[in-house]
């Protein structure tokens, strides 16, 4: 959880650091631009989340389409998941029989 927080803060500050039109000769305009950009980023994120929730809860509700998409994401990706599981198991067994403990 701490890594996500650090990543979000780093993203917000990196956007602020690259703010156009701010001269680097004086630190206060740069710091102010970074602070304003930081709060703008979180404000836009909040607006996006509120729009997402509002759109998810607004009618018309399409239950069949939701179930169809869940099927497409879930059961149709099952062969890929099984393949990756088999590959991991195979590499573990090969590593054990050849004496490699780093796998």
Mean pLDDT of 36-51: 93
Number of alpha carbons in the 13 Å side-chain half-sphere of residue 51: 6
Q: pLDDT tens digits for 55-96?
A: 988 888 888 988 888 888 877 777 777 777 776 666 665 556
CA dist 46 to 24, 43, 51, Å? 30, 5, 9
């Amino acid at each position: 959880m701490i890594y996500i927080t650090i990543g979000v803060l780093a993203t917000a500050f990196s956007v602020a650091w690259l703010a156009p039109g701010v001269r680097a000769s004086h630190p206060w305009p740069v710091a102010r631009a970074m602070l304003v950009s930081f709060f703008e980023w979180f404000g836009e994120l909040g607006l996006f989340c509120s729009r997402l929730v509002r759109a998810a809860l607004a009618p018309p509700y399409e239950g069949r389409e939701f179930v169809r998409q869940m099927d497409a994401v879930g059961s149709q990706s099952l062969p890929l998941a099984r393949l990756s599981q088999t590959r991991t198991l195979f590499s573990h067994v090969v590593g054990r029989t050849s004496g490699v403990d780093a796998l």
